[in-house]
Structures are given as structure tokens and as C-alpha cells.
Chains A and B, each alone.
Chain A
Amino acid sequence: MRDERWGFRRGFRLPRRGPRALADEIEEEILTHLAMRTERLVAQGLSEGAAREEALRRFGDMDDARQRLRATAREREAHMRRREWLESLRHDLTYAARQLRRAPGFTVAVALTLALGIGANAVMFGVVDRLLLSPPPHVRDADQVSRVQLSRTWRGMGEFTSPITGYANYRDLAVVRSFAGVAAFGFPMEMSLGRGREALPVRVASASAGFFPLLGVKPRLGRFFLAGEDGEPQGMPVAVVSEEFWRRHFGADPGALGTQLPLGDASFTVVGVAPRNFTGVDLRAVDIWVPVTTASYIWMQPGYATDRGSSWLQVVARLRLGADPALAATEATLAHRRGNAAESNKDPNARVSLSSVIAARGPGEHTEARVAAWLLGVAAIVLLIACANVATMLLTRALRRRQEIAVRLALGVSRARLVRQLLVESLLLATLGAVAALVAATWGGALVRATLLPDVGWSGSPVDARVLAVTAIAALATGLIVGAVPALQTRGIDLASAIKSGARGEARQPWRLRSVLLTAQVALSVALLVGAGLFVRSLRKAEGLRLGFDARRVTLAEVSLHQAGYDPERQDAFWRNALERVRRLPGVESAALTIATPVRFSLAGTFIVPGLDSLPQLTTGGPYKNGVSPSYFATLGARMAHGRPFTEADTRTAARVVIVNETMARLLWPGREPLGTCVRLARADSIPCATVVGVVEDVRRQQLREEPTMQFYVPLAQWRGPHSTSLLVRARGDAGGLAVPVRRELQALAPDVPFPRVTSLAELLDPQLRPWRLGATMFTLFGALAFLVAVVGLAGLLAYTVAQRGYEIGVRVALGARSPDVVRLVLARGAVATAAGLAVGLAAALLAGRLVRGLLFDVTPADPIVFAAVAGVVVFVAAVAALPAARRAARVSPMIALRAE
């Protein structure tokens, strides 16, 4: 009966009532009730007074009722407010969605731009999260776990801190009372699983029995090591395999437990499977874990437990609950000094410290992590640029919708609601962008992981819960920032003029804002391009270094014959055959045998020059010795400075000869001729001296960037020292294709050959180039994309200018302005914005450059070539981008423009 009135308030969104009004309503309702009740009672025959009394009595406790009714009413109002808010949000969302559907080109452009910015952040956050932010997978209460590192003072060279130590030093720490536990683990070693053609390369790491329980890891299957299996001296041959290895090698068969894994000369029983993605506390993946004592006994030396001179283990400790880390470090220092008290070369100032267990925060070189952190900053800049661009697009759109907005304002839609509608629209766009970004990040992240950071044992999808959360936050912030610009613009709308003039009339201010946004975009992308240039130059310099070998053309083949139980005679025979067979392979220019190998393995040796008391002390240590076959230098591509290389005539029985490197010649024979000098290569007098017959250029021992190193070489036939021969092969072209045929030749030599590791020297050096490759690739990618976005923004701005000022241009042309004048008029704005952006960007790059100095390779942060190149590219591309607008401006006909009005 009253139906048409219900819902009236909801329909017109009358303002909700405050608590005062609610109380009044309740009061009125009660009074009405009492009045009606009294009326009824009077009608039933009661006196006025008695009726009122009875009505009150029947009503009950008035104060209590009031309180309760008010509380319920407040609750009801809050509930309705929430519902109304949600309903209007839904309304705004449908409205925004309709608007976006109506302009699909615009929507796609904005969503893609935002996807680029948000996606870049998602990818880089994923990388940085694994390297720098997250604790290693499966480690429980990681903040209680620390790496233990040792600082020692070296005579005249200051204090050196290293996480690498020996077994005895690790055992010393067992007494530290602030530690709930101490455990040791070894670096992953590349080993051969099995022999012959079926042999497989695997990465084997050692871990003490306490390692897994200390970290709080639970086995996926079976168990970890028992204390008895990790006992001194030789432990037990048991192994825990990684989940990935278990899937790959055993097809995830639970029957894998108890099977034998032949590693080197020993066979290990599988007792457990580690959980998925478990890599210990380092980043590199491990296939097989074996007990520390077992590994040290077999692969180090039987007397490892008392050897305080060698370092091959790392140590982690878990603090007792509530223990003070500083106190723990002090206790550990005391324990270390006590353990070393009897040592002859003990360091009274040796110090133990604790550091984070998060992989790249630990000690040592983690340039990649630092570059990645920088790239996260770069990604944030890309997002800013994308925001600026999208803000410009939304602004343009808002200007086109001025009339619509003005009409709605005139109809009484509140500004707050209008602003909310604009924000909902931009948030919707940001959400679209975020969804596209997540798709892009899944692919892009996988690509970055595989190509730029292949050594890290990545866990799970590139988009995990944390990346998802960061993406959501980025999208929200982006939506708000981007939406704020057009929302602020609604302030300046003059209703009357906006409605009258439609889309064309425009205030001056939005234009200025667009120029500022464009300037910012250009500036930021210029800074990124400079960064890209610096990293590209660094990579070029690093790749172009003269190393003493042609990294791209030389392949190194290693076979652990010693581990496989070959005696020295059998090893020699094997390598002689290998050299013969490999030389005959097509595509092989030359091949040589060597004991030490560039990048991987070097040996220190004795070198006594008559008349010289001692050799100079170099920071690189040494001198380093090597035994090489005659074609070694030709195979590497190392240049003979003078003298001769070794020949087939330098046999075991021939006169002893030696070749020194240029650093050695310079330091030991300054200004004199080393050739002909007879030097002693052993302390024993019984061994005859060796004549220096040649000087060869320095060959890098380990690092791309290395201080001069003393190196000398003797013929392999005259070598005295460990037999650990390797084969070097020089390809006629790129070494890439030789790995497979060389490995096949080596495996064909004997049925029990361990897996031959065949890699080009370029591949071995690659991890050292990786920080610059990562920086160069990502900076260039992000910089180019950012610049592309900025250029599109510039072209858009100019096109818009021509469209907006068509009438004015027409008038000018009609009044006799020539095309160049008109073009100048149009381009002036774009040129000013670009020039300003360029200047600001270059200045910013100059300032920020100082911060990346440490990450560059032989390039100053103010490299003039890079700055000039970036400026040139920006000016050129901006000019090209301005062409269409200039052409259109030149073609404006006065008639068309004038008729338009």
C-alpha cells in the first residue's frame, strides 16, 4: 500500500543520519507508542492518568530500552553505510569498465605501459628477494642461524675475513655455549657419477650430520646423516640426494633409498632425499650431499682432522634461544684461539664473527646481488616513467571529457564522488596492467633466471606469494598516483565555459603539467640509458681484456683419473692417447696437456735464482708453477715475448729448461736478460738447475681482473709434482662445437673413464662477466623501453598540440605565416621539454654514477663517450618522433581551420 515510498532514500542517496538524529527518531518512536497505547487504554475505559501510568508500566525499563535501541540503530547505520559504499563502488566499477571498453586502443596502451613498469618490478623483486631478502628455503627461524667467519691478520697486508676454514677450526667451536648447534658444509664439487659412457656430471657437497637438524630441514624421504656416519676419521659412505636429482635420476622412486651411487673411487648408499629446492645456505644447487668426514677423508687427505693449514669448509651456527650474538662471537673467538694455541703460525688477533645466513648477504663477492639491487631501483624508475606516461594519457582523456565532467558536476554529482570515479578507473587500469605484468613476469623472470643468473638454485615459480604481494602494492600505488593527476585537474574546471566550449577550450595549466611530465620521462630514461651505456662499456672492456689466452677458442677437458683410482703410469698413457686422438678431430687446430689450468687450478712452486736471496712478495702469492706439453702456449694463444717455447726435444732426460712469464722476468731480472740463467726449482741440491729458455706473456690465473702474477713453466716430461693432467684444445673457430666430440673421444679411451668435464675457457670465465652482463642487458632493456615510452609520449604531445592549435595555426597561415614558422611554433614545446629532460637526465646520471662506480669495469661513471652517445641518440630519436606532427602542422590549410569554427 505504501510500496512506492519504500527505498526512496536509497534511490536518491539522501545523506545518512548522525547519532543525534538517530536518538531523536528513537525518542519519537517511543513517544508515539506511548501515546497510542494511552489512547487505546482510555478507549477501554481507563482515566487519562491511569492510562498513561499503565502505558509506561507496560513499556518496561525506559532507560535500558533507549540504550539498547540506540546501539542497535548505530550498528544498523554502519552496516547500511558499508553496503551503500560497496554498491556505489560496484557502480563506479561498471561505469569505469564501460568507459574503458569504449576506448579499447587507449585501454590497451595504458595497460601495456603499466604492465611494463609493474612487470619490470615484479621480475627484479623476485631476483632480489631470493638473493638478498629471503632466508634460504626450508631454514627454520633463519634469524637465529648465522654464518661463522674468521678474520686473520696477515703480516703487512691487514685483516682478511673469510668464511672458509678447516675441520679442526670447526670442531673448536663445539664448546661455544651460546650456540645451540654448529655445523660444517663444503662447497659443491663437480664430480662424475659412474664411469664410462653412462657417467654423469653431478654436484656433490659435504655436510656434517648436524647441518640439516641445525637448519631445521625435514627430509622429503628417508633420513639425513646419523652422528655415527659423520664420525672421525673416515665417516660412512652414505648420501642424501636432492629432490630434483631424485626425480631426474630415480624417477621419484621411493626405492631409491638403499641404492648405491658410485662417486670417484667410492660407492655411497642413498639414505635420504632432501626437500624440494633445498640448497643449504648457499645459492648454488647441489645434487648429492655426503658426510663431511667421509668427503674430507677420501677427497682431501686422511689427516684432515688435525690439518690447520688447509681450508675447505664453511661453518653455520644456531644461537641458543635468547643468546646475545656479540657474546656468542666472543666465546667463539676464545674457543678458536684456544684451539690454535699450540700452532706455530697462530694469529693472536684472530677473531670470529657472525654474519647473515641470507645467501648474498654473506661474505664474499656478490656483485650480481648488488647489480640486481640496482636493477630493482631501475625497475622502479621504469615504473615512474610508465606512470608519467599514463598520467599524461589520462590527463588528455580527462580534458576530452571535460564537457561530460562539467555536466555531471552541474547535475550535482559531488567532486569527491567524481574524483573517486576517476581513481576507480585508474585503479582498474592498474589492475589490468598488473595482470598483464604477472604474465610477463612469469616469462621474463624465468628468462632472467636462466640466462643471466644460471648458477642460482632457483626455487619455484618466478611469481610467488611475495612477488604477488609486491605487485599488488605496486599496482595500487600506481593506480593512485596515475589517477591523482586528472583528479586534481577537476578542481580547475569552470563549469560554464567548459560546457559551452566543449573539448577544445583548454586552460593553460594542464599543458604545463604535461610538459613537466614529459620532461621527467625524458630525464629518467636518459639516466637509464647512461646506466645502460656504462654497463655495456664495462662488459665490452671486460670481454676485451687480454688474458693470455683466447677464451672463446680454447676448450678445457678435465677427467678425475686420480679419484677413479688410476695410477700415474696409467694416467700418463691415458692423456698421451687422448692428445693424439683429439688432435685428429676435425676443427681442432692444436691441443696440449697441462697440469695447472687457467681459471680453475694453480700450484705454487719453488723458484731460486742464483744471487737472489728471496723473491718479491706479491699480493697474488706465487710464484705458480706448471708443467705443460710443447704446444701449450700455441694452444692457449699466449704470446712468447722472447726465447723459444718447449719442443718435443725437451724430454725427461734432456737438459732441464724453464720458461718464465713477463712479470717474473721484469721483477727478477730488471733490465737484464733472463735467458740462459740456470735457476733451481727445488730446495734439494741433488736436483739439477733448469735454464731459462723463454719468456711468455702473463696468463690469468683465476680472475678477469688480477694483479700481476709470477708464473713459470717446465716441460711436462720434466714435471715433478702432483699428476692431475688436463687437456686443452684450440678450435679453428669458436670452441662451442668441440665439447661433444672431445668428450666422446675421451670416453672411448677406456671403459672406466669418469665423466669428462669439457668446457670452453669462455664458459669458465662467464660467471665473472655475469654482473656486467646482467647490468648491461637489463639496463639496456629497461632504458630502451623507458625511452620508447617517453618518445611515444613526445609524439603524442606534439600531435595533440597540432590538433588543439589547428585553429590558431590556420589563422596564422591565413595571416601569412610560412610553414617553417608554423612548424617551429608547434615543435617549440616538444623541443623545450626534450632539451630540459636531456639536461636534467645527464646531470642526474652524473650524480648517480658515483654510486655505481664500484660496479663498473675500467669505465669512469662520467665516461664522455657514453654521455655523448646518449645525448646524440636522444636528440636524433626525438627529432624523428617529431616529424609526423611537424608535417601535419605544415599542411594545415587556413580554410579548413577557419571553417571548423
Chain B
Amino acid sequence: MSDALPLLKGTLDLLVLKTLSWGAMHGFGIASWLEDRSGGTLGVDDSALYQALHRLEARGLVEAEWGVTGNSRRARYYRLTTVGRQRLRAETATWLRYTQSVTHILSLHGRSA
């Protein structure tokens, strides 16, 4: 975990939205989904994930409802709203543009390297 890169600001929100684009999930589900796909840990506390979820909910990007898990446990399920889906699309495009240009710059062969 110590070797994990710290998440860039705003990136967590984007990852959460992306995760929820597959369907409704509870907080732990999102956390483990992200951990599985990032090959380890997210690099943030779990509490940060919940703060992100609640923040997104307050902004109307996701909505939440209590549901029942496979183990008959009560859990709060989150899913994307229409606005959230639009936001995800826009942010993804921005993100890809941004990383492309950063990648491009980083892969230049510097003279003094």
C-alpha cells in the first residue's frame, strides 16, 4: 500500500462514477471492485470512498437506497443518475485528453536525461 500512488484530486469521484456505470453497488462492493481492477489497493482510506459517495449523492450525480446483499445483509446501494451518467461521459473525455498530453510530454526524449 505504501508504494501506491496517491490519487489525484477528483480522480476518486471519476473512478466511483465509472464503477457505478456497471450498475448499482454498495460501498464495499465499489471498494473491492476498484481494488480488484487496480491490482491491489486504491491508495486511499475506505472512509474517503464513502465521503466521495455521499458528496456525489448530495450533488445529485448518484442516488442511494437501502437494499439487501446476497448474504441477506442490509446495505446502502448506490447508482448513477442521468446527470451522473452525463458527467461521467464528460469527465472521462477530459481525463483521456489530459492523460494523453501528459503521456506525450513524458515520453519525449529529453536532452539532459
Task: List residues of A whose CB falls within 8 A of some B CB.
Answer: 1-2, 5-6, 8, 25, 28-30, 32-33, 35-37, 40, 58-62, 64-65, 68-69, 72-73, 75-76, 79
Within 8 A of A (CB), among B65-86: 65, 67, 69, 73-77, 79
- Say how far A300's CB is from chain B's closest CB, in angstroms: 76
Are the C-beta atoms of B76 and A25 separated by less than 8 Å? yes
Residues of B within 8 A of A36 (CB): 28, 69, 73, 75
Bound complex: CA A378 to CA B50 (Å): 64
Q: Give 14 A-B contacts (CB < 8 Å), ordered by A residue.
A: A1-B23, A1-B24, A2-B65, A5-B67, A6-B65, A29-B75, A32-B75, A32-B76, A33-B26, A33-B46, A36-B28, A59-B46, A62-B47, A68-B54
Known: A65-B51, A69-B54, A72-B55. A33 touches B28 (CB 8 A): yes
Known: A1-B24, A59-B45, A76-B58. Is A33-B50 also a contact (CB below 8 A)? yes
Question: Per a CB cutoff under 8 Å, which of B24, B46, B54 touches A58?
Answer: B46
Q: Smallest Cβ distance from B94 to chain A, in angstroms?
A: 24
Q: How far is the CA of A40 from the CA of B33 in the complex (A)?
A: 13
Collect the chain B residues with CB atoms within 8 Å of residue A62's CB: 47
CA distance A222 to B79 in the complex (A): 68
Residues from chain A with a CB closer than 8 A to the CB of B65 are 2, 5-6, 8
Contact pick for B47, options A2, A28, A61, CB 8 Å: A61
> Complex: how many Å from CA A29 to CA B58?
16
Q: Total A-B pairs in contact (CB under 8 Å)? A: 79
Chain B interface residues toward A at CB < 8 A: 23-24, 26-28, 31-32, 44-48, 50-51, 54-55, 57-58, 60, 63, 65, 67, 69, 73-77, 79
Closest to B63 in A: A6
Instruction: Please judge, given known A-B contacts A6-B65, A75-B58, whether A37 and B28 are in contact too, CB under 8 Å.
Output: yes
Q: Could you say which of A28, A68, A72 has the most chain B C-beta atoms within 10 Å of its C-beta?
A: A72
Residues of B contacting A8 in the complex (Cβ-Cβ under 8 angstroms): 65
Q: Are A2 and B54 in contact (CB under 8 A)?
A: no
Q: Within the assembled complex, what's the spacing in Å between the Cα atoms of A276 and B68?
A: 73
Expressed in whole angstroms, the minimum distance between the Cβ of B93 and any Cβ of chain A is: 27
Whether B28 and A76, one on each chain, are in contact in the complex, defined by CB atoms closer than 8 angstroms, is no
Complex-state Cα separation, A64 to B57, whole angstroms: 19
Query: When A6-B65, A36-B28, A75-B58 are in contact, do A60 and B75 touch as well, CB less than 8 Å?
Result: no
- Nearest chain A CB to B66's CB is how many angstroms away? 8
Do A28 and B79 contact each other (CB < 8 Å), given the known contacts A61-B45, A65-B50? Answer: no
Q: Contact partner of A32 among B24, B54, B73, B79, CB < 8 A?
A: B73
Cβ contacts under 8 Å, A59 to chain B: 45-47
Q: Is the CB of A32 within 8 A of B58?
A: no
Distance, CA A58 to CA B40, complexed state (A):
13
Q: How far is the CB of A156 from chain B (nearest CB, A)?
A: 83
Docked CA distance A30–B63 (Å) = 17
Name the residue on A nearest B29 (C-beta): A36
- What's the Cα separation between A65 and B45 when bound, in Å? 10
Cross-chain contact B23 with A32 (CB below 8 angstroms)? no
**In angstroms, how far is the closest chain B Cβ from the Cβ of A23?**
13
| Minimum CB–CB distance for A190 against chain B, Å | 69
A72 touches B48 (CB 8 A): no
With a cutoff of 8 Å between Cβ atoms, the chain A residues found around residue B32 in the complex are 40
Contact across chains for A32 and B46 when beta carbons are under 8 A apart? no
Known contacts: A33-B46, A37-B46. The answer to whether A79 contacts B51 by CB under 8 A is no
- Indicate which residue in B51, B60, B73, B75 contacts A69 across the interface (CB closer than 8 Å): B51
Enumerate the 8 nearest inter-chain pairs by beta-carbon distance, A residue then B residue, closest first.
A60-B45, A65-B47, A76-B58, A72-B54, A60-B47, A36-B28, A59-B46, A29-B76
Chain B residues, CB < 8 A from A69: 50-51, 54
Which residues of B are found within 8 Å of A76, using beta-carbon distances?
A: 54, 57-58
A53 to B73, CA, bound (A): 21
Q: A33-B28, A75-B58, A79-B58 are in contact. Are A6 and B79 (CB under 8 A)?
A: yes
Cβ of A5: which chain B residues have Cβ within 8 Å of it?
65, 67
Among A1, A33, A60, A65, residue most surrounded by chain B Cβ atoms (within 10 Å)? A33
Give Cα A28–Cα B58 distance, bound, in whole angstroms: 19
**Complex: A204 Cα to B63 Cα, angstroms:** 73
- Give Cα distance in the complex from A779 to B63, angstroms: 62
Question: Closest CB of chain B to A34's CB: distance in Å?
Answer: 9
Cα separation A33 to B54 with both chains bound (whole Å): 14
Report which residue of A29, A59, A61, A79 has the largest number of chain B beta carbons within 10 angstroms of its beta carbon: A29
Chain B neighbourhood of A6, CB < 8 A: 63, 65, 79
B28 in contact with A60 (CB, 8 Å): no
The chain A residue sitting closest to B28, CB to CB, is A36
- Contacts of A40 on B, CB cut-off 8 Å? 28, 32
CA distance A817 to B82 in the complex (A): 73
Known: A2-B67, A6-B65, A33-B28. A64 touches B58 (CB 8 A): no
CA A36 to CA B30, docked complex, whole Å: 12
Kindly state the separation between the CA atoms of A62 and B50 in the bound complex, as whole angstroms.
11
A612 to B48, CA, bound (A): 112
User: Which listed residue, A32, A58, A72, A75, touches B51 by the CB 8 Å rule?
Assistant: A72
How many angstroms from the CA of A36 to the CA of B51 in the assembled complex? 18
A79 to chain B minimum Cβ distance, whole angstroms, is 6
Determine if B57 and A60 form an interchain contact, defined as CB atoms under 8 angstroms apart.
no
Are A64 and B47 also in contact (CB < 8 A) when A2-B67, A6-B65, A76-B57 are?
yes
Complexed CA–CA distance, A660 and B78 (Å): 106
Q: Which residues of B contact A60 (CB under 8 A)?
A: 44-48
- What chain A residues lie within 8 Å of B50 (beta carbons)? 29-30, 33, 65, 69
Least CB separation from B23: chain A residue:
A1
- Residue among A35, A36, A64 with max Cβ neighbours from chain B (10 Å): A36
Among B27, B57, B58, B67, the most chain A Cβ lie within 10 Å of the Cβ of B58
CA A544 to CA B37, docked complex, whole Å: 102
Contacts of B45 in A (CB 8 A): 58-61, 65
Q: Are A73 and B54 in touch, CB under 8 angstroms?
A: yes
Separation of A62 and B46 alpha carbons in the complex (Å): 10
Name the CB-closest residue of A to B45: A60
Shortest CB distance A568–B (Å):
91
Query: Which residues in A have their C-beta under 8 angstroms from that of B74?
Result: 28, 32
A65 to B49, CA, bound (A): 10
In the assembled complex, the Cα of A5 lies from the Cα of B51 at a distance in Å of: 24
Residues of B within 8 A of A68 (CB): 51, 54
Cβ of B47 and Cβ of A29 under 8 Å apart? no
Sample of 10 more A-B contacts, CB < 8 Å, known A29-B27, A33-B26, A68-B51: A2-B67, A33-B27, A37-B31, A58-B45, A60-B48, A64-B47, A65-B45, A65-B50, A69-B51, A79-B60
